[in-house]
Amino acid sequence: MPAFLQPLLSDQTLVLYLGLFSLVFFFVTLLVIPWLILQIRADYFHEPERHSLLSSLNHPVLRITILVLKNILGVFFILLGILLLVLPGQGLLTMLLGLLLIDFPGKFRMQRWFVSKPSVLHSVNWLRNKGKKEPIKL
């Protein structure tokens, strides 16, 4: 066990709370991720460029505020995912959720590359079929 985790894991109350949090977050991800996949438009990855929903907001202060909050939430989920790698929970899924929230150059290209993998595309379209949604087009 890494030395930096020794003080954390010696406190049984903290371990109990972290374990309960991990368990709750595991079940939340089981519900939220399929819902998010069903919200994606079927032609989302078919377009050459991504069109941000934030660009439709007219007020620049509101747009910047939402962008900053979304990126802070994304960083939080990435850090939480790293923590959940050593605790019980869905660390990789949590980090993936964080990456999807953060804005960075090449993000849309990375998402399209990830979804274009046959196993991922098959799983996503299987889930969309169960939700009576049109399959993702690449």
Give the tens place of pLDDT for each residue, 95-106.
777 887 898 888
Distance separating alpha carbons of residues 51 and 58, to the nearest angstrom = 15
Angle between helix 60-86 and helix 91-101 axes, rounded to 10 deg: 160
Residue 135's pLDDT is 94
Which among 19, 27, 29, 20 has a CA at the least distance from the CA of 98?
29
Residue 117 tokens, joined: 């993998």
Which H or E element spans position 33? helix 12-39
How do the domains of the chain map onto residue ranges? 3-130
**Single pTM value for the model:** 0.64
Which among 18, 33, 32 has a CA at the least distance from the CA of 83?
18
- 85: DSSP letter: H
